[in-house]
């Protein structure tokens, strides 16, 4: 079992969870991360500003990013 932390970044704000989560392996950590994102995305997408980015990362026990999921609102000319 390994310890992981979630970090969410939006604009200038970035914060990592203080409480670690324990997962059996990276595959289990990825599955949990995608489920958490799925539960959050509707509300995040409704509030996303143009030319903004929302990002969730899963960090290992050394706080090094392992996975990242990003939602980007881009203005095209």
Q: What angle do CA 9, 36, 3 make, to 5 degrees?
A: 80
pLDDT digits (tens, 9 = 90+) for 16-65: 888 999 999 999 999 999 999 999 888 888 888 889 999 999 999 999 99
Q: Which residue is associated with the tokens 């604009």?
A: 11
Residue-level pLDDT at 58: 95
Greatest Cα-to-Cα distance within the chain, rounded to the nearest angstrom: 47
The answer to pTM > 0.95 is: no
Picking from 1-5, 10-14, 49-53, 71-75, which range would have the lowest pLDDT averaged per residue? Answer: 10-14
Residue-level pLDDT at 26: 93
């Amino acid at each position: 079992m390994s310890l992981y932390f979630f970090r969410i970044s939006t604009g200038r704000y970035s914060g990592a969870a203080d409480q670690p989560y324990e997962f059996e392996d990276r595959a289990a950590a990825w599955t949990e991360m995608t489920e958490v994102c799925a539960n959050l995305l509707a509300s995040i997408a409704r509030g996303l500003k143009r030319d903004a980015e929302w990002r969730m990362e899963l960090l290992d026990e050394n706080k090094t990013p392992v996975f990242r999921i990003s939602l980007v609102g881009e203005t095209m000319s």
